[in-house]
Amino acid sequence: MLLDQSVIAGSGNIYTDEALFIAGVRPTRRAGKVTRAECDAIAEATRAVMLRSIETGGSSISDYVAPDGSDGGYQDERRVYSRTGQPCVDCGALVKRVVVGQRSSHYCPKCQR
């Protein structure tokens, strides 16, 4: 649901993965099983992740290039996105990748429930 542009415009794979990590919610959790408090945490985390990305100049992992042609700086701060098999920055568990709705999602199996 978080990647459905008719629900939330502008939140792609990277920001959604990062926001879910901060909120502690697994990408495989059904929208109907997310608590109100978790919804608030996801919304707050999405805003924080997007603001931080703007501050650091965007994400160049997939397609973003700054107006001057340089790469964005946000990808250096990724916690889970495209870090499959690497240790979680918080707990050290290996980051996993799963396909949700034909999109790749990345999460920590210990930090996200």
CA atoms within 13 Å, Cβ hemisphere of 10: 9
**Is 20 or 111 the residue whose CB approaches Zn ion more closely?**
111
Which residue has its beta carbon closest to Zn ion?
A: 88
CA atoms of 67 and 9, how far apart (whole Å): 22
Tell me if 113 contacts Zn ion by CB under 5 A: no
Token pair, residue 62, equals 């997939």
Residue 49 tokens read as: 């992740």
Q: Which of 90, 94, 99, 113 binds Zn ion (CB under 5 A)?
A: 90
User: How many residues in the shown chain lie near Zn ion by CB under 5 A?
Assistant: 7
Binding residues vs Zn ion (CB under 5 A): 88, 90-91, 93, 108, 110-111
